[in-house]
Amino acid sequence: MIFFRRAIPVTVLSLLVIPIVAVLPATADARKRSEAEAGALARRMLAQLKVARPLSIRGYSHQRFMPRWAHHKGKCNSREVVLARDGRRVRKNAACHPVKGVWYSPYDGKWLKSEKQVDVDHVVPLSYAWRSGASRWSQARRRAFANDLTRPELIVVSHSANVAKGGKGPQSWRPPRRAYWCRYATSWITVKHHYRLFVTKKEKVALLNMLRTCRGR
Average pLDDT over residues 197-205: 98
Nearest one of 55, 57, 60, 54 to 203, comparing CA atoms: 54
Q: What is the C-alpha to C-alpha distance for residues 10 and 16, in angstroms, rounded to an integer?
A: 10
Query: pLDDT for 13-63, tens place per residue?
Result: 333 333 333 333 446 566 667 888 999 999 999 999 999 999 999 999 999
Residues 6+ apart with CB under 8 A from 116: 159
Q: Domains of the chain: which residue ranges?
A: 30-211
* pLDDT at 5 (0 to 100): 45
Query: Number of C-alpha atoms within 13 angstroms, CB side, residue 1?
Result: 2
Q: What is the C-alpha to C-alpha distance for residues 5 and 7, in angstroms, rounded to an integer?
A: 6
Nearest one of 105, 106, 86, 104 to 179, comparing CA atoms: 106
Q: What is the C-alpha to C-alpha distance for residues 131 and 96, in angstroms, rounded to an integer?
A: 33
Chain mean pLDDT for the chain: 87
* Lowest-pLDDT choice from 17-26, 112-121, 143-152, 165-174: 17-26
> What is the pTM assigned to this prediction?
0.84
* pLDDT at 68 (0 to 100): 79
Reply yes or no on whether the pLDDT at 136 is more than 70.
Answer: yes
The string of DSSP letters for the chain reads ----PPPPPHHHHHHHHHHHHHHS--HHHHHHHHHHHHHHHHHHHHHHS-B-PPPP-TT--GGGG-SSS-EEETTEEHHHHHHHHHEEEEEE-TTS-EEEEEEEETTTTEEE--GGGEEEEESS-HHHHHHTTGGGS-HHHHHHHHT-SSSTTEEEEEHHHHHHHTT--TTT---SSGGGHHHHHHHHHHHHHHHT--B-HHHHHHHHHHHTTSTT-
Top-confidence residue, 74 or 77: 77
Top-confidence residue, 155 or 12: 155
Reply yes or no on whether the pLDDT at 1 is more than 70.
Answer: no
Handedness of CA 77, 79, 80, 84 (dihedral sign): positive
Query: pLDDT for 84-93, tens place per residue?
Result: 999 999 999 9
Reply yes or no on whether the pLDDT at 193 is more than 80.
Answer: yes
